[in-house]
Amino acid sequence: MEYTALGKSGLRVSRLCLGTMNFGVDTNEKEAFRIMDSALDAGINFMDTANIYGWGENAGRTEEIMGRWFKQGDGRRERTVLATKVYGDMHDPYDGPNREAGLSAYKIKRHLEGSLRRLQTDHIELYQMHHVDRRVNWNELWGAFEIAAAQGKIGYVGSSNFAGWDIAVAQGEAKARGHLGLVSEQHKYNLLCRLPELEVLPASKELGLGVIPWSPLDGGLLAGNHRRGGDSGGRRSGDAKRLEQHREQLDRYAKFCDELGEPEDLVSLAWLLANPAVTAPIIGVRTQEQFERSLRALDVKLDESALKRIDEIFPGPGGEAPRAYAW
């Protein structure tokens, strides 16, 4: 397994991050345990979740599954770099008027305690804001995170779904306080979604954040499902129109991957891994078989010629601008 530093921090994480959002929803607890055990055995030490996973009235279920997995012992917790998130509605009536999605010192403290309880741990390595909340002053937010860090409950702070401007403001405010600031940005980034190359990736690189791409296969559109007759993630979500919009690109991509002798999903992951701005793509698997398949992406190496061909099929937002991985 390859490892890399998480942004400007000294924390080293695996080049693939295991996403757990399907656990307790599409993946039962027994299979989730099997996948997480296999991840550790394969050298994956980085696992990402969120307090709202389980969704709706079942928010928190995924963290509970992970907590019971940690409780088995045998170094499971000690070997895991754990990341979770705060922002969403936990459907907790005791949150009262603070139940709605957003951030505040009150919510960070309360929801952090809830995550620690469900995860059956006393600390979280990477605590992430699931979205930006521009209504809240950064003095309040950094103050809350500093207290949590001083108490030993969190190690580092990350962001998710932030714009480049939000990252710059957050880092500027942190610097003024003498605080390390954000060490990572979790963002939707894949071959069909290259808009982050305009601002988010350059801002993250300049300001010392590692980038953790979510939806690296764009809900299945980049997994080759469209030509195997299976449902893509887009179809399952009713987005057949988007599939048709990109069908010509996807067909060209499938042909190119055939020439490489590698499947589309693994090439899509390998393309992200070839970008030095990327810390670790999140593999949100549902089954053990999907997990084992995703590991093979680490063995797929794309040369300059292959990367150029991919750019021709999926041009970046700057058209002929230099490729993201060349920054």
State residue 241's pLDDT score. Answer: 80
SS3 97: helix
State residue 228's pLDDT score. Answer: 61
Q: Are 182 and 188 in contact (CB under 8 A)?
A: no
State residue 244's pLDDT score. Answer: 87
**Active site (catalytic) residues:** 53
Distance of alpha carbon 265 from alpha carbon 257, whole angstroms:
9
State residue 279's pLDDT score. Answer: 97
Q: What count of other Cβ atoms lies within 10 Å of the Cβ of residue 243?
A: 18
Distance of alpha carbon 267 from alpha carbon 153, whole angstroms:
38
State residue 239's pLDDT score. Answer: 63
SS3 93: helix
Report the predicted TM-score, pTM, of the whole model to 2 decimal places: 0.93
Instruction: Give me the tens of pLDDT residue by residue for the chain, a chain 327 residues long.
Output: 999 999 999 999 999 999 999 999 999 999 999 999 999 999 999 999 999 999 999 999 999 999 999 999 999 999 999 999 999 999 999 999 999 999 999 999 999 999 999 999 999 999 999 999 999 999 999 999 999 999 999 999 999 999 999 999 999 999 999 999 999 999 999 999 999 999 999 999 999 999 999 999 999 999 987 776 554 444 454 567 888 889 999 999 999 999 999 999 999 999 999 999 999 999 999 999 999 999 999 999 999 999 999 999 999 997 544 454 444
Domains of the chain: 3-220+268-302 (3.20.20.100)
Q: What count of other Cβ atoms lies within 10 Å of the Cβ of residue 118?
A: 22
